[in-house]
Every structure is written in C-alpha cells, then in structure tokens.
Amino acid sequence: MKKTLIVFAGKRGTTKEAAGRLAAALNGASTLNLAGPGAGRSALDGYDRVVLAGSSYMGQWNPSLVDWANARENELMGKDLAILELGMNKSESAAMQAQPRLSAHAQAYCKPGGCVHWAELTFMERMIMKMVNGKKGDASNLDWAELDAFGDQLKEAQ
C-alpha cells in the first residue's frame, strides 16, 4: 500500500474538510496542514505518494501551497503525485496554471467544486461573489461523490 501524505492549504474550512475526508478514504493517510506549526520543516522521506490539496481564489491556487510545492519540486517529481483543487469554478484549473510541471507529472487531478459561507466573507469578497453569482448568500457546488471517486482512483493505484 502506498504511504500517502496529503498536504493541504485553504483559506476557510472546505479544503481542510476535503483533505480529512480523502485521508479517511485512503485508510488513514497522513495530513499536513500548511497553516499548522512546523509545516515548513516537514520531510517527505518515507512517503510514496503526495496529494497537494488547495483552494483557489481569484484564479490563484493557494499561495502557501504553491510556495511549499515549488520549494520541493524536484523531490515531488520523484514521487507519485495527485492534485486536489477546491473552488467553485470547475472549468478552470488554477493548480495547473500555477504548477505546470507538477501537474504534468501528477497521476490524478480532481476539482470537485467548492463552498462559500457568506458570513465568513470580507466586504470585498462579498462584492466579488455578488458580481460573479448575481446573488448574496451561501453557495456550494461541491460534489462529495466526485471527491470519493478520486479517493477510489487513488486507492486502486495503491
């Protein structure tokens, strides 16, 4: 069985929730929250596979995740790799734009959608969401079944 590390970075809770669900599906894969203590010093030795999981805002994949992956690009190129992108615009891939080399190397990619909790947004973010969605309020197009299918795909590659 491939020893898997899910490295995640989100702004609010969606990415964390998705990373936790994926870890459980992969029989308790390890997770690394880049917002947590000691994340910068984390070692990849001992892991066969890394899943990079991050949310996208304004067309940009999570900057902490991009920096973390850039600093370890060569090491990641030597491992099995999968990419999970959270975001409501399923027709664009900020992850592929930010990480073309790692994306080409990745065996699997999934963007199952995202969630917006209106109460957590800043004033500017509310303006943007109102412009994009044409309405106020919570919104979600997150397809958990798609995420679970991604987990199954990774499990089959164990």
Ligand X SMILES: Cc1cc2nc3c(=O)[nH]c(=O)nc-3n(C[C@H](O)[C@H](O)[C@H](O)COP(=O)(O)O)c2cc1C
What is the distance between the alpha carbons of residues 24 and 22, in angstroms, rounded to a whole number?
Answer: 5
What residues does 49 pair with on adjacent strands? 4, 80
DSSP 1-37: ---EEEEEE-SSSHHHHHHHHHHHHTTS-EEEETTST
Residue 146 within binding range of ligand X, rule CB under 6 A: no
Residue 129 within binding range of ligand X, rule CB under 6 A: yes
Least distance CB 35 / ligand X (angstroms)? 10
Residue 55 within binding range of ligand X, rule CB under 6 A: yes
Residue 121 within binding range of ligand X, rule CB under 6 A: yes
Contacting residues for 21 by C-beta, under 8 A, at least 6 apart: 144, 147, 148, 151
Q: Which of 36, 59, 63, 100 is the binder for ligand X (CB under 6 A)? A: 59
Residue 66 within binding range of ligand X, rule CB under 6 A: no
Residue 115 within binding range of ligand X, rule CB under 6 A: yes
Contact set with ligand X (CB under 6 A): 10-15, 55-59, 86-89, 114-116, 121, 125, 128-129
